[in-house]
Amino acid sequence: MWRILILLSAGMLPMTVTRAASDDVMENVVLGMHGGTGMDKKDITPELDKQYRAVLTEALRAGKAKLDAGGSSLDAVEAAIRLMEDSPIFNAGRGAVFTRDGRNELDASIMEGKEKRAGAVAGVQTIKNPISAARAVMEKSKHVLFIGRGAEVFAAQQGLDLVDPSYFWTEMRWKAIQEIWRKEAEERQEKQGAVALPKRYEYGTVGAVALDAKGDLAAGTSTGGMTGKMPGRVGDSPIIGAGTYADNDAAAISCTGHGEFFIRYAVSHEIVAQMKYKQVSVDAAANDVINRQLKDANGEGAAIALDKTGRFAAAYNSEGLYRGCITKNGTIRVRLYED
């Protein structure tokens, strides 16, 4: 296995080989994050590049601070994701994309690996930080998933911050949905059928995985979904076993990409299952699911994974994956497109 990883790293295999988790493996990690597969590399400006790296770094530090203060892996995951939800540049929380009818519908989930408790919300429009609502569902209800108005009422009852839907409006996301509307109008006029979404606007999600001093793993994921999605559409991010999973006997996983494929292939659970039952490493499992199973099905996306020993891996079959991790001693690594 190591020989294969060395060859990939050295560029000695043909260029057709897909991106593996090999070069994204890091040891002694306590918190890993992703900010989605991002826009096309050619479209990212130096200023945007700087902003993405800065927010990822800040989120990693925020989560690590929780761990250093004796907090749990759940505390670290929630803190890191909340910070990214508050940033307008990621497709989660404030930066959420618009549905086909010009609204923002947000999804999130969180899970801990010791007892496998989980909570999630979907299709919410007034909850400022959906990841906190997901945690409240897990800890303060007997359920796992709340949707729409019911989730918003529950969040209000728990004292969580609610906002007017206009809070989620950002110029970048509004331009994205306007571009889709424009192309749809042109294609209707030309009678050429359905519009193809601009690739850089299709997907995007944020997520985190953490390991605390007690050896407990946790994972969380938050998203605005896909630009131009049908109202009421729910992707993989709030689905336990699809976009999020944690098991202390294996790893914590958070995913991003074309959600329908991640649901159908139960991606986050599949990675954990391979580790437990095939006894493969976290990077080997993540790479097999993302770069073999999903790619063979034409499903685009990525996963970050942190195993019970602190081994962090990222696998993606897209052009890039905005991701980062921080070790126990505070070493930070952030990457966008780099192999």
Give the residue numbers marked as catalytic: 205
- What is the C-alpha to C-alpha distance for residues 239 and 220, in angstroms, rounded to an integer? 11
316's tokens = 């993606």
Q: Torsion over CA of 280, 212, 325 and 66, rounded to 10 degrees?
A: 160
- What is the C-alpha to C-alpha distance for residues 15 and 257, in angstroms, rounded to an integer? 23
The owner of tokens 């892996």 is 73
Cβ–Cβ < 8 Å for 123, 232: yes
DSSP readout, 124-181?
Answer: ESSBS-HHHHHHHHHHHSS-SEEEHHHHHHHHHHTT--B--GGGG--HHHHHHHHHHH
Cβ–Cβ < 8 Å for 313, 24: yes
- What is the C-alpha to C-alpha distance for residues 143 and 134, in angstroms, rounded to an integer? 10
